[in-house]
Amino acid sequence: MAKSPEVKLAVFGRAGVGKSALVVRFLTRRFIWEYDPTLESTYRHQATIDDEVVAMEILDTAGQEDPLQKESHMRWGEGFVIVYDITDRGSFEEVGPLRGLLEEVKKPKNVPLVLVGNKADLNHARQVGTEEGERLAAEMACAFYECSACADEGGTVSEAFHELCREVRRR
Ligand code: GDP
Ligand code: MG
Protein backbone atom coordinates (compact mmCIF):
# COMPACT_ATOMS: atom_id res chain seq x y z
CA MET A 1 0.00 0.00 0.00
CA ALA A 2 1.23 3.50 -0.81
CA LYS A 3 2.43 5.47 2.13
CA SER A 4 -0.42 7.64 3.26
CA PRO A 5 0.16 11.36 3.58
CA GLU A 6 -0.05 12.83 7.01
CA VAL A 7 -2.82 15.22 7.90
CA LYS A 8 -2.05 17.80 10.57
CA LEU A 9 -4.98 18.64 12.79
CA ALA A 10 -5.12 21.15 15.64
CA VAL A 11 -7.79 21.46 18.31
CA PHE A 12 -8.66 24.94 19.54
CA GLY A 13 -11.08 26.39 22.07
CA ARG A 14 -11.23 28.04 25.48
CA ALA A 15 -9.56 26.20 28.37
CA GLY A 16 -11.95 23.72 29.98
CA VAL A 17 -14.22 23.02 26.98
CA GLY A 18 -12.97 19.43 26.78
CA LYS A 19 -10.35 19.50 24.03
CA SER A 20 -8.10 16.96 25.74
CA ALA A 21 -11.06 14.75 26.68
CA LEU A 22 -12.22 14.75 23.04
CA VAL A 23 -8.79 13.91 21.68
CA VAL A 24 -8.34 11.12 24.22
CA ARG A 25 -11.83 9.83 23.41
CA PHE A 26 -11.03 9.80 19.72
CA LEU A 27 -7.69 8.04 20.21
CA THR A 28 -8.66 5.53 22.89
CA ARG A 29 -12.49 5.46 22.92
CA ARG A 30 -12.25 6.15 26.60
CA PHE A 31 -13.01 9.12 28.76
CA ILE A 32 -10.50 10.49 31.21
CA TRP A 33 -12.02 12.77 33.80
CA GLU A 34 -9.03 14.83 34.74
CA TYR A 35 -6.41 15.85 32.32
CA ASP A 36 -3.66 18.38 33.02
CA PRO A 37 -5.19 21.62 31.69
CA THR A 38 -1.84 23.22 30.99
CA LEU A 39 -0.59 20.30 28.94
CA GLU A 40 -0.12 20.65 25.24
CA SER A 41 0.56 17.45 23.30
CA THR A 42 0.69 16.00 19.85
CA TYR A 43 -0.47 12.52 19.02
CA ARG A 44 -0.14 10.29 16.00
CA HIS A 45 -3.05 8.25 14.85
CA GLN A 46 -4.08 6.16 11.85
CA ALA A 47 -7.60 5.54 10.71
CA THR A 48 -9.30 4.06 7.68
CA ILE A 49 -11.57 6.68 6.21
CA ASP A 50 -13.58 5.85 3.08
CA ASP A 51 -11.32 2.81 2.46
CA GLU A 52 -8.16 4.85 2.67
CA VAL A 53 -5.58 4.78 5.41
CA VAL A 54 -5.06 8.27 6.74
CA ALA A 55 -2.22 9.08 9.08
CA MET A 56 -2.80 12.08 11.24
CA GLU A 57 -0.95 14.16 13.70
CA ILE A 58 -3.17 15.85 16.26
CA LEU A 59 -2.17 18.88 18.31
CA ASP A 60 -4.17 19.31 21.49
CA THR A 61 -3.59 22.95 22.41
CA ALA A 62 -3.80 24.11 26.01
CA GLY A 63 -6.12 27.01 25.20
CA GLN A 64 -4.13 29.51 27.19
CA GLU A 65 -1.16 30.17 24.92
CA ASP A 66 0.05 33.65 24.05
CA PRO A 67 -0.84 35.13 20.64
CA LEU A 68 2.49 34.18 19.08
CA GLN A 69 2.19 30.54 20.11
CA LYS A 70 -1.38 30.47 18.90
CA GLU A 71 -0.36 31.78 15.51
CA SER A 72 2.42 29.28 15.16
CA HIS A 73 -0.01 26.45 15.97
CA MET A 74 -2.34 27.82 13.32
CA ARG A 75 0.44 27.93 10.77
CA TRP A 76 1.37 24.34 11.62
CA GLY A 77 -2.13 22.91 11.24
CA GLU A 78 -3.92 22.01 8.02
CA GLY A 79 -7.30 21.34 9.56
CA PHE A 80 -8.90 22.65 12.73
CA VAL A 81 -11.42 21.54 15.29
CA ILE A 82 -12.90 24.51 17.11
CA VAL A 83 -14.54 23.37 20.32
CA TYR A 84 -16.94 25.16 22.63
CA ASP A 85 -18.81 23.91 25.67
CA ILE A 86 -22.62 24.01 25.35
CA THR A 87 -22.82 24.94 29.07
CA ASP A 88 -20.43 27.91 28.68
CA ARG A 89 -21.69 30.76 26.51
CA GLY A 90 -18.36 32.55 26.79
CA SER A 91 -16.64 29.62 25.08
CA PHE A 92 -19.14 29.90 22.21
CA GLU A 93 -18.41 33.60 21.88
CA GLU A 94 -14.72 32.81 21.46
CA VAL A 95 -15.37 30.73 18.34
CA GLY A 96 -15.84 33.70 15.99
CA PRO A 97 -12.60 35.45 16.96
CA LEU A 98 -10.66 32.17 16.74
CA ARG A 99 -12.01 31.58 13.27
CA GLY A 100 -11.13 35.16 12.32
CA LEU A 101 -7.55 34.68 13.45
CA LEU A 102 -7.33 31.39 11.55
CA GLU A 103 -8.51 33.06 8.35
CA GLU A 104 -5.96 35.79 8.81
CA VAL A 105 -3.06 33.43 9.48
CA LYS A 106 -3.96 31.14 6.56
CA LYS A 107 -4.86 33.87 4.09
CA PRO A 108 -5.50 33.49 1.17
CA LYS A 109 -6.13 29.77 1.72
CA ASN A 110 -9.46 28.33 2.70
CA VAL A 111 -9.36 26.86 6.20
CA PRO A 112 -10.71 23.32 6.65
CA LEU A 113 -12.67 23.41 9.87
CA VAL A 114 -15.25 21.59 11.98
CA LEU A 115 -17.21 23.12 14.83
CA VAL A 116 -17.86 20.98 17.90
CA GLY A 117 -20.24 21.79 20.75
CA ASN A 118 -19.02 19.52 23.55
CA LYS A 119 -20.59 18.34 26.86
CA ALA A 120 -23.93 17.53 25.26
CA ASP A 121 -24.51 15.16 28.21
CA LEU A 122 -25.00 18.26 30.39
CA ASN A 123 -28.20 19.31 28.65
CA HIS A 124 -29.73 20.54 31.94
CA ALA A 125 -26.99 23.19 32.16
CA ARG A 126 -27.11 24.18 28.51
CA GLN A 127 -26.40 27.83 27.67
CA VAL A 128 -26.02 27.51 23.90
CA GLY A 129 -28.86 26.14 21.78
CA THR A 130 -28.24 23.52 19.11
CA GLU A 131 -29.68 25.90 16.48
CA GLU A 132 -27.15 28.55 17.48
CA GLY A 133 -24.30 26.14 16.83
CA GLU A 134 -25.88 25.14 13.52
CA ARG A 135 -26.28 28.75 12.49
CA LEU A 136 -22.69 29.63 13.32
CA ALA A 137 -21.40 26.60 11.43
CA ALA A 138 -23.50 27.59 8.42
CA GLU A 139 -21.96 31.08 8.55
CA MET A 140 -18.50 29.54 8.68
CA ALA A 141 -19.45 27.01 5.96
CA CYS A 142 -18.26 24.08 8.03
CA ALA A 143 -19.63 20.87 9.53
CA PHE A 144 -21.13 20.98 13.03
CA TYR A 145 -21.36 18.30 15.69
CA GLU A 146 -22.77 18.35 19.18
CA CYS A 147 -21.13 15.62 21.16
CA SER A 148 -19.95 14.45 24.53
CA ALA A 149 -16.46 13.24 25.27
CA CYS A 150 -17.77 11.30 28.26
CA ALA A 151 -20.93 9.79 26.72
CA ASP A 152 -20.06 9.43 23.07
CA GLU A 153 -23.01 7.46 21.78
CA GLY A 154 -22.72 6.54 18.15
CA GLY A 155 -19.14 7.70 17.75
CA THR A 156 -19.89 11.36 16.98
CA VAL A 157 -16.42 12.36 18.16
CA SER A 158 -14.73 10.11 15.57
CA GLU A 159 -17.15 11.29 12.94
CA ALA A 160 -16.09 14.90 13.55
CA PHE A 161 -12.37 14.07 13.23
CA HIS A 162 -12.93 11.91 10.16
CA GLU A 163 -14.97 14.61 8.45
CA LEU A 164 -12.18 17.07 9.12
CA CYS A 165 -9.65 14.71 7.50
CA ARG A 166 -11.90 14.46 4.44
CA GLU A 167 -12.19 18.23 4.33
CA VAL A 168 -8.40 18.64 4.46
CA ARG A 169 -7.84 16.08 1.72
CA ARG A 170 -10.47 17.61 -0.53
CA ARG A 171 -8.52 20.85 -0.78
P1 GDP B 1 -9.49 21.31 27.86
O2 GDP B 1 -8.92 22.37 28.77
O3 GDP B 1 -10.28 21.95 26.75
O4 GDP B 1 -8.47 20.35 27.36
O5 GDP B 1 -10.57 20.51 28.71
P6 GDP B 1 -10.41 19.07 29.43
O7 GDP B 1 -10.43 17.98 28.42
O8 GDP B 1 -9.26 19.12 30.36
O9 GDP B 1 -11.79 19.01 30.23
C10 GDP B 1 -12.13 20.02 31.17
C11 GDP B 1 -13.14 19.46 32.16
O12 GDP B 1 -14.36 19.16 31.51
C13 GDP B 1 -12.67 18.16 32.83
O14 GDP B 1 -13.09 18.19 34.16
C15 GDP B 1 -13.41 17.08 32.06
O16 GDP B 1 -13.67 15.96 32.86
C17 GDP B 1 -14.71 17.79 31.69
N18 GDP B 1 -15.29 17.30 30.44
C19 GDP B 1 -14.66 17.21 29.23
N20 GDP B 1 -15.52 16.75 28.29
C21 GDP B 1 -16.71 16.55 28.90
C22 GDP B 1 -17.99 16.09 28.46
O23 GDP B 1 -18.24 15.78 27.29
N24 GDP B 1 -18.97 16.03 29.42
C25 GDP B 1 -18.76 16.37 30.72
N26 GDP B 1 -19.77 16.27 31.55
N27 GDP B 1 -17.56 16.81 31.16
C28 GDP B 1 -16.56 16.90 30.27
MG1 MG C 1 -6.43 20.26 27.63
pTM: 0.95
Alpha carbon of 148 to ligand 2 centroid (Å): 15
Q: Confidence class of residue 3 from pLDDT cuts 50, 70 and 90? A: low
Respond yes or no on whether ipTM tops 0.90.
yes
Alpha carbon of 47 to ligand 1 centroid (Å): 24
Average pLDDT of every residue of the chain: 93
**Does any ligand 1 atom lie closer than 6 A to the CB of residue 63?**
yes
* Distance separating alpha carbons of residues 96 and 161, to the nearest angstrom: 20
What is the arithmetic mean of pLDDT over 33-39? 74
Query: What pLDDT is recorded for position 57?
Result: 96
Phi, psi of 112 (to 5 degrees): -65, 130
Q: Confidence class of residue 2 from pLDDT cuts 50, 70 and 90? A: low
**Given 3-state DSSP classes, what are the helix, strand and coil percentages for the chain, each rounded to the nearest 5?**
40, 25, 35
Choose between 32 and 73: higher pLDDT.
73
What are 46-89's pLDDT values in tens digits? 999 999 999 999 999 998 888 899 999 999 999 999 999 999 99
**Does any ligand 1 atom lie closer than 6 A to the CB of residue 86?**
no
What is the arithmetic mean of pLDDT over 6-16? 96
Secondary structure element (H or E) that encloses residue 22, with its range:
helix 19-28
**Does any ligand 1 atom lie closer than 6 A to the CB of residue 149?**
yes
**Does any ligand 1 atom lie closer than 6 A to the CB of residue 58?**
no
* Distance separating alpha carbons of residues 73 and 104, to the nearest angstrom: 13
Residue 163 contacts residue 114 (beta carbons within 8 Å): yes
Asked if residue 98 has pLDDT above 90, the reply is yes
Residue 25 contacts residue 149 (beta carbons within 8 Å): yes
Q: Which ligand is nearest to the CA of 12?
A: 1
**Does any ligand 1 atom lie closer than 6 A to the CB of residue 19?**
yes
The alpha carbon dihedral of 29, 34, 35, 37 has a sign of positive
User: For residue 119, with 0-12 CB atoms within 10 Å meaning exposed, 13-18 middle and 19 or more buried, which class applies?
Assistant: buried
Q: Which ligand is nearest to the CA of 149?
A: 1
